[in-house]
Amino acid sequence: MGRIKNYINGKWTESKSKETFRSINPANKEEVIGIVSRSGREDVDEAVKAAREAYEGWRLTPAPRRGEILFRAAEILLKNKGALGSMVTREMGKVLSEGLGDVQEAIDMGYYMAGEGRRLSGETVPSELANKDMKSVRVPIGVFGLITPWNFPVAIPSWKIFPALICGNTVVFKPSSDTSGCAAKFVEALVGAGLPKGVLNLIHGPGGEIGEYLVSHPGVDAISFTGSSDTGKRLEAICGAIHRIIVTEMGGKNAIIVMDDANLDLAVEGGIWGGFGTTGQRCTATSRIVVHKRVYRTFTEKFKAAASHLRLGDGLQKETDVGPIINESQFKKILKYIDVGKKEGAKLILGGKVYPKGNCSKGYFIEPTIFSEVTPEMRIAQEEIFGPVVSLIRAEDLRDAIRIVNGISYGLSSAIYTQDVNSSAIAERDLESGIVYINASTIGAEIQLPFGGIKHSGYGRKEAGGRGGALDTYSRWKVIYRDFSGKLQKAQIDK
């Protein structure tokens, strides 16, 4: 890509400091994707100012017209899906089919939110008084600061930017430094669709420096953040102190329950996809599998055998099943957790090592790793690892399995494999997570329903979806009472 610049007030521009950093391919550290402008506080100030100045005109642009721009952006993404999907794979590392899926999710969200431009519905309800009507309408919040992670470098920005724009907000977008190139390409689609200057602004740089400054900036009205729990809690504290709206999507320690009546082959497939898809680098990844004691040994053997056939390598190669870890710090963190699991007494039955074979020696590759005989209180069963590490835990029965799944500080996604309708009903009622899957893995949410967790997995409103999700996140309700009686009427008093 060459230079990856900021986009502020309708112009692609270098940072004020002229400082840069590199975006690299995690499958091959020698390949530089691009040289990225490193923003500072002055760049944030300029971006916020541009968004503030553009807000009034964008707010007053009819929502159907805003929707037409989003529709055109989705069309541009569709036209360039192949190239952008490859870019996702090169910069983030996920295999090409997942890179293309990442882009497709953004396309879907673009079309979906474009349609909301002709809905954005509120309510009209009857009054108890004559000659009076009442309604609620959605109105924008203002300038949104949007901070996104590296694991879905096109999809997650689309979850935030498309609904923010359709609701009439303007945006300052701060993506992960690891995937700056994908962020720039996504913004290019909206620019190409005719988005007015200042409505969407892009700044690159370290979250600890400019991300926190953006969150506390006096010109910003609200924040949406997706990333680690530690960072999210710190940002929540900042916003709480200044009475600012914030929505956070954070970590998970997601689990699949496998009952003794489950289709074990199907459950194994779900565990492999959930545990090792995207190299385990999803907030909804399957980090734990809680297996009924009657089928624990059989499931363990089948799961180990299936995982042992996974092929590591560059995600652009057709034969690759599992790509690299995103960067060196995450690479070291995962290896540290594998060592923790060993010291805790869990039984390492597969993987657990750096994968140095062939071209993988140039990237951040760790073997798919499975621990058996894990107990619920172990750190590897409690803390988010965010890598290709799965813990197998034995359960006595359904009640015990649900207790184990719920016994953590997170509550994002959970799943159960069973052929008993009563067991599935109990699980969907009692599992403490924002998302529950029946006979499917912990990953695979669709954009037309809200996405998000409870407990330490998230705070505030949800992503995606319509009512109850993104529209409620990126707009606020205004209630309007109109009295056309020509006299003073007192609700709850007049007869």
Q: Which positions are catalytic?
A: 249, 283
- The C-alpha atoms of residue 482 and residue 374 are separated, in whole angstroms, by 63
Specify whether the CB–CB gap between 186 and 214 falls below 8 A.
no
> Quick count: other Cβ atoms within 10 Å of Cβ 392?
24
Amino acid at 311: R
Question: Residue 226: CB partners within 8 Å, gap ≥ 6?
Answer: 147, 148, 149, 156, 160, 248, 249, 250, 283, 463
Whole-angstrom distance, CA of residue 482 vs CA of residue 136: 12
| C-alpha–C-alpha distance, residues 292 and 184, integer Å | 47
CA distances 303 to 87, 179, 276, 311, Å, are: 32, 32, 12, 15
User: What is the strand order of the sheet 245-249 is part of?
Assistant: 11-13, 6-8, 200-202, 170-174, 143-147, 222-226, 245-249, 458-459
Q: How many CB atoms lie within 10 A of CB 181?
A: 24
Residues 6+ apart with CB under 8 A from 206: 38, 177
Question: Nearest 5 degrees, angle CA 384-CA 319-CA 262?
Answer: 55
